[in-house]
Each structure stands twice: as C-alpha cells, then as structure tokens.
Structure 1
C-alpha cells in the first residue's frame, strides 16, 4: 500500500479550481519542482490512535515532506492549535468544526469523512436506575465541551423533549471523564470510541442511547489559513489528504490490523481496540451540499440552545479544492 511520489503528482494535476464555496480561491497546483516538497514540514494535530495510527497501519507514512505530529486529547484543543498557528492540519469531529466556525477561526475544512454512530454513546453504570433518556433530567452528565459528544448529547436530549438546561453538564476531557464515571461522580457520560468500548469492557457500562437517528457521524480535516496560503504547503496538504482517505479505506478492510496498531499506539488493551475497530472506521465522503446542510442544522441547534452566540455560516469554512478525485 506504500505509494511513491507519483501519487502526489498524479493527484495534484487533477486538483483544478472549480469551487462552489462563497469566496474565490485559486486552484491547488503541483510545485514547479517536486523536490521542493522535501523542504516542507507539515505540522499535524492528532488524537491518540487517530490519523498517524491509520497511516501507519496502511503503510502510508513515507511522505515526500516531513510530518511533525502533536497529540491532543480531543477536537477543541486541536482546533485551537490550528487557530493559533501551532499546527497546519488535523482531524476533528463534527462539533469542533462548528465551534471553530462560530469563533471565526482562521481555518478551513478541506476533507470530510463519516463513521458509525453507534459508538457515539451516552453511557450509564450497569446498575444505574436510569432506563431511558428522559431519566437524565436533573442528572450530572460528563461531556467534553465542543466535542462531537456534546453535539450528540444535544440532539439526543432534544429528541426526548429535553434541553441542555434540563441536565447538569460537567465539562471534562476524556481521561478525567472516565475517572469520574468509574468513581460514580457523574450519572452518565457522553463519549465516543475507543472510550465507549473501554468503558463497556472494563466497567460493564450500559449504552443508554447512541447516535442512531441523531448524530451525523461526520469528521473533518481542518487546515489553517496560513498553511493554505502557501503553495508548497497546499501541495503537501493535498497529498496528505489523499493518503488519509486511502488509510481509512484500508482500515475498513483490515480491521484486525487496525486494532493492533491502535492498541500499540494508545496502550489500550487489544480487546478494547478490537471492539472499537469492529464498528468500522470513518470513511471518506464528499464535502457536498447535503453535508453542509446537516452541519448547518447542528450549528443552528447550538445557537438555539444558547451555546453559540449568533448564527454560524458553516459553508463559509468549506474548501472543496481538495476533494477526492480518485
């Protein structure tokens, strides 16, 4: 599965500039001298077991440019790093992308993927008296602020006739949330894989509700405006984006290998990563109007809930020049 530099040139030559996003953007062009990519360092934000793990499992880490990795606990701090210029690109979920747009962050969404939503779960202890979502009224729920779990929780509560104001939210990063959940300091935990799988196998956590019928399962590759403004970095981003798509497809057909690499990099037990991998990876999807409408609906829901001030124009942060042409 290892690709040569020909992958880069062949794919870049078809990235010509037809973009339906509001602002004009010149097409992505391959560098006049392909050797110029050797001088590029692409700073990539990641979460444990994320993009780097996917690329390693697929044998796609050998790039014609240098990769510098930074690890984050969740999407919101990764977005903040991109906004501050500390990274060039990184993968994040549906809700952090909305919060970035709401903050007018100097970033663009250059690629999209969609995963299973059964692992986007609201968990309770196996012996918890809460039997349905309505039973969460007045209960303390751990969730990462601005994470995909935050959006899934908002939608799940709304489907049950509740709002975020009807519950007691405790904003915690995943490791702290898991500790609070295990110790009974919260009544429920809204999270995602591999944390869902870990809690299920290690604590017998019960899934009160998952994302079926509520979550859209989208994730995005987010690039900083600074990186997008540089032709050499644009070329590296185009290649990286295509490699990540190929790695996602590879992991879908090699789930055992994906689980083993995931376990090695995160130090999670192999049964945990096997369960998470069995539910399927994110797979590439187009940055089309259907996706934009779904994300706009979620953004509007956050506005209506009073979490985000004002209306977010999600389409303004979509850059379709890097779409999959394979």
Structure 2
C-alpha cells in the first residue's frame, strides 16, 4: 500500500521534504499529493462555519499524513474525524502579524468593530484574529471577516479593500516594501502560530513504522532548511511561489524541527477550539486531548545539531 503524504507550500517543511527524496530512501512507494490540486471542500459563509478540506483529505483517501497550522485539525475533529496529533514546530511568532496601514484610523483592537479583516478562512489566520478580538471582548459578529481564499491578500490590503490583515511572510515583505504598516497587537504573547502535523488514528496505530520514517525524514529535512535557507528558498521560488529573497528571509525567521506535542500546545489549541465554537464556527465542542495517542512523543527523534550529509 502506497504511503500518501499531503503537502503544499504553506507547510514549508513538507514542501521541501517532497523535493529531497528522504522518505523514499526507506519507503520507495510514496505518493505526494499536492492538496492544491484536490477538489475544494465546501466553503461555508465566513461568518457561519469553517471549511473542512484539509482535514477531510485524511478520510476520503486522498492522503495519510498532513501538516498545517492551528485551525484545520480542530475543524476535522469537530466534524467527527478521528485525528491524531503527531508533532508541532516551535513558535513562529515572527512570521505572522495582525496589521493595518500606518495611516489607518484604526489605532487599537477596539477600533476593529465593524471593520473588514482579511483572513485565509479556516487557516491559522482565523485563530489569530479570534485571539486578538477576544483580548478586548469582541466577537466574530462584531467585525466583517473577509475570506481571502484564492485571492492575493497582500494586494487587497495595498488596495485598501480590507482594513486589517492577518499577514505572514513572504507576502508581508512585498507590503512592507511599498507602504508603512502597524501591528495592532504583537503576535508574541498572543498566539504561538506553530506548524503542526497530524494523521488518522488507524494510520498512527497500524502503520506506526511508516509514521516514524516520516517524522525522522522531516527532522532531517528541517535541519537542512535551517542550515541552507537560500537553497531551500529556491525550491519555493522555482514553483512560481514568489521572490527568492523574500522566501529566504521568511525561512531564516522560522523555527525548524519537529517537537513533541506539549501541554502548553494542547491548552492553546483547546482555547482556540472553544473560541471557534463560541463564535459559531464549529458544529460542536471538542476536546483536544481526544486527538492524542500515547507513545507518539517517543517516536520523535531529537532535532539534529547540523544537517545530514
């Protein structure tokens, strides 16, 4: 049975791993599924729910393993899917910002009431926005969220089509080169913005050796990215994914390496799930610890000090 791994550029680790052939040294029969090519899942109105496509792919036969940001596994769990968290990255607080234009009349989070906030709905951006709004007692219904799916959020922000934006690098680099921006609230201390990897429970149990191979390969590849950010950036730029220098800057400012799921992560993820439900974006409450599996942490090798030869 082929090992199917879902990947896309926004999970930098899996994108690079796809191009380096490390998994194939141990498991020759690997299918890499670019999730951008899969049929899109339903996208409910941005005020009424979350899209489910990333999590659903694990259960419709598209792939066995995936890496995303905070929100997709929460959504998958809320729709009854039996996922298991495999590992997380370190905090990526320098990579994401909740910004307005420097000359914007919005000077505080309270000023967001009624304003248009650009997000990739269903991604980590939804969670970041909710954490910020909750900080001052605002809810999803107090703002006008704009789903940027399929659109260039940076350009919409530059054009003034949205009042605030949950942006990340390298897209933020292009904006910062053209206009002044202000962070409404520092991401550090608000949201850890980790990458995370998850799978189905049956895969984690029945194909544990293959899962261990994936994690070890990610660890090796992530160390290579850390030590060779320019070469790694070339893999993204070659796909038409933006400017080489911008990608190098982004990669140099992200943590690489797979870490075991921690208590702090679980608590933050549960808070995100509770906020999503309270704001009407999930069909039911979930318990994040239901997506944990004893023994997973022991299968994660330490982050190497230097890249493998």
TM-score greater than 0.5 by the shorter chain = yes
**Aligned alpha-carbon RMSD (Å):** 2.8
Q: Which aligned pairs between 1:177-196 and structure 2 lie closer than 5 A?
A: 177-196=153-172
Distance 2:232 2:292 in 1: 29
- Cα distance change on mapping 1:225 and 1:201 into 2, 3 Å: farther
Cα separation, 1, equivalents of 2:267 and 2:119: 25
Per the alignment, residue 232 of structure 2 pairs with 258
Q: Partner residue of 1:44?
A: 5
The residue matched to 1:218 in structure 2 has which SS? Answer: coil
Q: Measured at CA, do residues 161 and 85 of structure 1 come closer, stay the same or move farther in structure 2, by a change above 3 Å?
A: same
For the structure 1 residues 83 and 76, does the alpha-carbon distance in structure 2 shift closer, same or farther, using more than 3 Å as the test?
same
Structure possessing the higher radius of gyration over alpha carbons: 1
Residue 87 of structure 2: which of 111, 117, 122 is its match?
111
More helix by share: 1
Which residue does the alignment assign to 2:105? 129
* Structure 2 match to 1:64: 26
Distance 2:150 2:180 in 1: 17
Equivalent residue number for residue 273 of structure 2: 299
User: 1:152-204 deviations in whole A, cap 9, x for unaligned?
Assistant: 11111222332222210112216343443343322222233333334334666
Aligned to 2:258: 284
| Distance in 2 (alpha carbons) for counterparts of 1:314 and 1:183 | 39
Whole-angstrom CA distance in 2 between matches of 1:126 and 1:223: 41
Moved more, 142-151 or 113-122: 113-122
Displacement of 1:94:
1.2
Structure 1 residue runs of 4 or more that deviate by more than 4 Å after TM superposition: 56-59, 73-76, 202-206
CA shift, 1:284, in A, is 2.1
Determine helix, strand or coil for the equivalent of 1:272. helix
SS at match of 2:92: coil
Contact 1:97 1:220 in 2 (8 A): no
2 CA distance for matches of 1:119 and 1:315?
27
- 54, 57, 80: which is aligned to 2:16? 54
Aligned residues: 285
Normalised by the length of structure 1, the TM-score is 0.76
Aligned with residue 119 of structure 2, among 140, 143, 146: 143
Change beyond 3 A, Cα 1:187–1:250: same
| Residue 61 of structure 1, CA deviation | 5.0
Counterparts in 2 of 1:62-101, with a 5 A limit?
A: 62-65=24-27, 66-72=29-35, 76-101=52-77
The offset of 1:108, in angstroms, is 1.8
- What's 1:246 paired with? 220
1:285 is paired with a residue whose SS is coil
C-alpha deviation, 1:46, in angstroms: 1.2
Distance 1:275 1:210, change over 3 A: farther
Give, in angstroms, the shift of residue 253 of structure 1: 3.0
CA separation in 2, counterparts of 1:109 and 1:295? 11
Distance in 2 (alpha carbons) for counterparts of 1:188 and 1:127: 12
How does the TM-score come out when normalised to structure 2?
Answer: 0.80
Distance 2:218 2:74 in 1: 22
Partners of 1:247 and 1:204 lie apart in 2 by: 35
Is the 1:44–1:69 Cα contact (8 Å) retained in structure 2? yes
Q: Distance in 2 between the 1:266 and 1:76 partners?
A: 26
Tell me by how many angstroms 1:273 deviates. 0.5
